[in-house]
Amino acid sequence: MDRINKIAWEDPVARIQRSFTENLRAVGSSFGALRQFQSRIEATTYERHVTIHFLSALWRPLDSRLKDYDMRKGFTRKPQEDEPATRGKNYITPSGLQRLKEEHQFLLTRERPAVTKVVAWAASNGDRSENADYQYGKRRLRQIDGRIRFLTKRIDAAEVVDPERPRAGQAATRAFFGATVRYANAAGTERVVSIVGTDEVDLNRNHISWMSPLGRSLMKSAAGDRVALQAPGGTEYLIVLEVCYERISVEPFREPPGAEASAKELPRRRQST
């Protein structure tokens, strides 16, 4: 009651000043809370942006490496299924070794310099990040370098076996590397195959690898022998009719279509005036 009477008899000016002060304090308290809430939101947003930027910076090079790996995997040569898994001698005929050397020479002295020239020309045209010629050229260089390394290892490990060299004893009558074998299956169908290295396989010429299932089945067999071939559909028995050693002609290396070495000369870079 006393407080009410005091407020009733309070000077109007003082009452207005007191009310204004209380309202100002309330507004200040609300503004402080609002500012604190806004600071929390800004801090959370900043942390989120920093996190996203950090993760993007980590993913960008990893993503490019994964894409580059996919492209290399799609274009580089994969080992054939009948290639020996362990490192060792690479049995090969003289014609097969010559073919590997010709391809190695072509890539090293003609194709790689031509692609390098394309990359240098593309790099001089501007932004490399969006330059398709530059990106493809660099990818193609990696493919060529991988193939050159593969051919170098195969050539260094080559163990040349000449089918035409003189043989005596069982080496002349039994099937070994370089032999040409004529055999017949259970239906009486005859076929002639030549046993060659893993880098010389050519089914159009009936050249099979000595590491293939058929090559392993025929190995060390002689005319009149009955051998078992473990085929996907089951075991098949073959009759060896003839074993001989003669020259095995391997298809020579030919420049692949679309090779950069045979492309037209690149246009010169425009000079600014």
**Which tens digit of pLDDT belongs to each residue from 187-233?**
999 999 999 999 999 999 999 999 999 999 999 999 999 999 998 88
What is the pLDDT at residue 153?
95
The helix-helix angle for 132-156 and 112-123 (nearest 10°) equals 160
What is the pLDDT at residue 262?
76
Beta-bridge partners for 184? 190, 239
On the question of pLDDT at 258 being above 70, the answer is yes
Which residue has 């989120």 as its token pair?
48
Report the alpha-carbon distance of residue 238 to residue 46 in Å, rounded: 76
Q: What percent of the chain has pLDDT over 90?
A: 46
Q: Which two tokens stand for residue 93?
A: 């005929």
At 192 the three-state DSSP class reads: strand
Shortest CA distance to 164 belongs to which of 247, 228, 65, 80? 247
**Which tens digit of pLDDT belongs to each residue from 147-187?**
999 999 999 999 999 999 999 988 899 999 999 999 999 99
Element spanning 148, H or E: helix 132-156
- Which residues, in sequence order, are CB contacts of 54 under 8 Å at separation 6+? none
**Which tens digit of pLDDT belongs to each residue from 82-134?**
344 345 789 999 999 999 999 999 999 999 999 999 888 888 877 677 677 78
